[in-house]
A and B are shown apart, each in its own frame.
Chain A
């Protein structure tokens, strides 16, 4: 049994979420009307939909609400809140199943989330929504399939969609974009597949949009690399930059976080194979001075593969803290916080972007009944108090921390 390894973080609390501690990659803070600070968490997989935790006192998190999924053949791995509206992504295990789309809830009483509407994205070739970005209260930017979309390859079933939710009871699609060649009927040829076994699809994962550049969407396009879209006219997004580093790297570009004032992008891969099968999965520092030509200049240093390869489960990059453009979220254009599965949560100082420096880590001991025998830290959120929330993918639940670097 490996002990918890912690450096320059202070653990405040650990909550296993009463036996349902498998959390996906949706973490969002709501300040409830009564002043309570509620952390909404998306579950990695069925049977649970989402869980709400009162983190007003980060040393004593309390379970507030939890919802079940209507079907076992689906997952709701991603969510966001704006004010008292919660948006939850629904993805099915196979195309053609339902419900696939997203659901909006009224969470003005956190104990009793009430459904406002369900936006249907199901279709013969659609698994629905894997991830959604909802920050301004007006638009949801997401990675989704659609009833009318036929991908040229089944693994490219999701694409970028913008949905207007200004009237939450009547969401309307306003725009969409896909990598040319990934839709049947495109004039461009389909992209060359990654090798069988490492083919994870040409589709977006995270679709981030920030108030600093409301005319840009920053997409981690999985096997397609980094994609930047001009969305000044949301009805007709245009690609303005792409950085494709696969091969020789193994695909699955996950998140793009711009540090606007510093002309940098922080780009993460997702490790999707066990025991180093797709090593190295990295966090890249990319020079964004010339928008059309993103240039990678360094990666965040990680302990060697041998150190974590045999601990069980995945070891490599995954989610980043995304400088979420909401009032109750922390902002930094120097510190990068990333999650690395059994490599835990890691913090980097990018003051010198050519030599990012590790400044802290938190690798919890394997939770009880961990199916991989190891921790699998999956996602991270930081609130404006600089309290860090990080979650395990399978059973470990929620850890709250303070930064000390």
Chain B
């Protein structure tokens, strides 16, 4: 879980202004290739949505990786088969599974692109199989050892259909996880559903996940909704815990004062050690005392993405914001943990001083 820079202050090549997380970036993905992952339960309309995107000018330059070989006819796009049986077993904690087929496929794509064997695509879109747990996919992009050096998970999209979605969310844990972990949710087939069904479904999804929800019309949606990089959550919210969430809870923490990186890292290490499997996703934009720019952090269970320091804040709000999507973790407990670690770190400084 710990991610410590070997380039911090005092390192021989740090320069005048040490950058503990490397060069400041204009955006969280830095130079890496953006990856959009589309999840959604069987029959939810993922393929239709992807095909519609690829038909638009905004969809040009997209390489497509299909988890299960689909039958979509895609012009000017690349199709790769990537089947990994293990991720189809969508129960339990899959965080330690290595998605080797996906990694191999992605690495090959990257190498082919570098040597000009395939067109110089600008992004990769992965369509996962309907039953896939997005957790392991998220982890695949977390570390340099896997795909995190070349690729950046730009957005995890979940497609939920207005006809069967409600039942799936109630009955299928995989469907709930897909909706809970997504950066954005697309509600499909609203035109085919009973009047009022889409509204009910949206309320149900909102209870699981504070992510933006978009409604597809005739199987398509504004390309930016799928392709743009989501900003870290800007608002404070507290969701879940209700009868519909099935133990999944989401909440956000906002810190008014800049955080010390060692204290933050320690607090996350404690959380990961004690409740790693339940930390489904933690995303945030932090004001770190040691850094000029905001720092993007992203955790998936016990795996931490390398933090990225940005050149600028996306808006006027300079407070740290951290979003938790968890299995049954209470907001108050997490808040107290952060407060406690910060207090201990501060008292140590005071004593030394």
- Which residues 70-95 of A have a CB within 8 angstroms of B? none
Q: Assess whether B119 is interfacial by the CB under 8 Å rule.
A: yes
Supposing A303-B114, A360-B31 touch, asked if A351 and B16 sit within 8 A by C-beta, the answer is: no
CB neighbors of B among A349-396 (8 A): 349, 351-353, 357-360, 363
Residues on B with C-beta less than 8 A from A263 are: 12-13
In the complex, 17 of the A-B residue pairs with CB atoms within 8 angstroms, ordered by the A residue number, are: A2-B116, A5-B116, A7-B33, A259-B15, A262-B14, A287-B12, A303-B114, A303-B115, A307-B117, A308-B115, A333-B15, A349-B31, A351-B7, A352-B22, A357-B149, A359-B31, A363-B116
Within 8 A of A (CB), among B1-36: 6-7, 12-16, 19, 22-23, 26, 30-31, 33
CB-CB < 8 A to B6: which residues of A?
352
Count class of interface residues, chain A: 20 to 34
User: Are B30's CB and A359's CB within 8 A?
Assistant: yes
Q: Which of B19, B33, B114 contacts A351 (CB 8 A)?
A: B19
State the CA gap A134–B23 with chains docked (Å). 30
**Interface membership of B218, Cβ < 8 A:** no
Least CB distance, B314 to chain A, in whole angstroms? 17
Task: Determine the chain A residues whose CB is within 8 A of the CB of B347 once the complex forms.
Answer: none
Inside 8 A of B116's CB, which chain A residues have their CB? Answer: 2, 5, 303, 307-308, 363
Within A95-124, the residues touching B (CB, 8 Å) are none
Distance between A358 CB and nearest chain B CB, rounded to angstroms: 8
Which residues of B sit under 8 angstroms from A360, Cβ to Cβ? 31
Contact call A261/B15, Cβ cutoff below 8 A: yes
Return the 10 tightest CB-CB contacts between A and B, nearest first. Answer: A307-B115, A359-B31, A405-B31, A5-B120, A351-B22, A261-B15, A262-B15, A261-B16, A303-B114, A334-B23
A198 to B302, CA, bound (A): 54
CB of A188 to closest CB in B, whole Å: 34
Give min CB distance, A99 to chain B, whole Å. Answer: 43
Closest to B25 in A: A405
A335-B23 CB under 8 A given contacts A5-B120, A307-B116, A405-B31: yes
Question: Which A residues are CB-close (under 8 A) to B7?
Answer: 351-352
B144-158 interface with A by 8 A CB criterion: 149
Contacts of A349 in B (CB 8 A): 22-23, 31
Known pairs A7-B33, A303-B116. 6 more at Cβ < 8 A?
A: A262-B14, A263-B13, A303-B115, A307-B116, A334-B23, A357-B31
A304 beta carbon closer than 8 Å to chain B = yes
Within 8 Å CB of B12, what residues of A?
263, 287, 289
Residues from chain B with Cβ under 8 Å of A353 in the complex:
13
Binding site for B on A (CB under 8 A): 2-8, 259, 261-264, 287, 289, 303-304, 306-308, 333-335, 347, 349, 351-353, 357-360, 363, 404-405
How many chain B residues touch the partner (CB < 8 A)?
A: 22
> Which residues of B, 104-119, contact A by the 8 Å Cβ criterion?
114-117, 119
* Residue ID in chain B nearest A353 by CB atoms: B13
User: A6 and B120 in contact (CB under 8 A), knowing A349-B22, A349-B23?
Assistant: yes
Q: Are A306 and B115 in contact (CB-based, < 8 A)?
A: yes
Complex CA distance for A357 and B306, rounded to whole angstroms: 15
Distance of A6 Cα from B33 Cα, bound (Å)? 12
Residue in chain B with minimal CB distance to A302: B114
With a CB–CB cut-off of 8 A, which chain A residues contact B15? 259, 261-262, 333
A333 and B14 alpha carbons, distance in the complex (Å): 10
Which residue, A6, A264, A352, has most C-beta atoms of chain B within 10 A? A352
Docked pose: A166 CA to B318 CA in angstroms: 51
CA distance A405 to B31 in the complex (A): 4
B13 and A304 within 8 A (CB)? no
Contact B115 A262, beta carbon cutoff 8 Å: no
Name the one of B16, B30, B114, B149 contacting A307, with C-beta atoms under 8 angstroms: B114
Q: Which of B230-253 contact A (CB under 8 A)?
A: none
